[in-house]
């Protein structure tokens, strides 16, 4: 029979090896940079206030009701009926922050809320103190919208369309006054080939 110290040593060696192996397992290094471009952010060359004004115009152009919540934050809201008695509301928030090296970064987040129409009938009651109360089938129907779900929009294409629209507005804002998008007006109309 092994002495008690030998038994303890035999049991501790595998435990220590297991624990040391856990310490060797590593994730990504701590100095790994966060990717600059992702689903919810976009760098632009414009200043933060100009970028937010462009985001406001892009949302307005897509049918959102917007409000500027400061010079560097835009909130937009758009409602539509999806199917039957179901309505969807998309709430967009765009925050524009200046970058230290010039330009700015837009951070966008969309929240999709779904509401369904719920109908409930309330019967009419008549109460007489001697007899008691009597419920009649005559009543009123009450319709109310009930929130059934909330979710952050994660579709990369959704945000890419928004960022493309913002860049198009920024390009239009930087055009020279009177500069035409097409060159049809370059040749006089009275000259024919």
> What total number of domains does the chain contain?
1
**Residue 40, pLDDT above cutoff 70:** yes
Q: Is 172 domain-assigned?
A: no
Whether this model's pTM surpasses 0.85:
no
Burial 124-138 (b: 16+ CB within 10 A, else e): eeeeeeeeeeeeeee
- The more confidently predicted of residues 125 and 70 is 70
pLDDT digit string (tens) for 113-140? 999 888 776 665 666 666 666 555 566 6
Is 176 part of any domain?
no
On whether residue 77 sits in a domain, the answer given is: yes
Q: Is residue 193 part of a domain?
A: no
Residue 178 in any domain: the answer is no
Q: In this structure, what DSSP letter does residue 25 have?
A: -
Strand partners, 46: none
User: Residue 20 pLDDT more than 90?
Assistant: no
Helix extents (H) in the chain: 4-24, 48-61, 156-173
Is 125 part of any domain? no
Per the listing, tokens 């007489």 go with 128
């Amino acid at each position: 029979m092994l002495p008690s110290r030998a038994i303890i040593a035999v049991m501790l060696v595998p435990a220590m090896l297991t624990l040391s192996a856990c310490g060797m397992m590593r994730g990504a290094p701590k100095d790994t940079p966060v990717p600059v471009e992702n689903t919810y952010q976009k760098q632009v060359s414009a200043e933060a206030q100009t970028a937010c004004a462009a985001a406001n115009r892009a949302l307005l152009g897509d049918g959102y009701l917007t409000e500027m919540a400061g010079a560097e934050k835009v909130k937009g809201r758009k409602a539509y009926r999806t199917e039957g008695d179901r309505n969807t509301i998309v709430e967009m928030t765009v925050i524009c922050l200046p970058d230290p090296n010039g330009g700015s970064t837009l951070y966008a987040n969309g929240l999709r809320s779904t509401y369904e129409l719920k109908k409930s009938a309330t019967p009419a009651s008549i109460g007489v103190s001697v007899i008691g109360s009597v419920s009649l089938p005559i009543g009123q129907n009450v319709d109310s919208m009930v929130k059934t779900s909330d979710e952050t929009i994660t579709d990369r294409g959704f945000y890419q369309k928004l960022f493309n629209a913002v860049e198009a507005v920024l390009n239009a804002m930087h055009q020279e006054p009177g500069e035409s998008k097409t060159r049809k007006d370059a040749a006089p109309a009275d000259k024919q080939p």
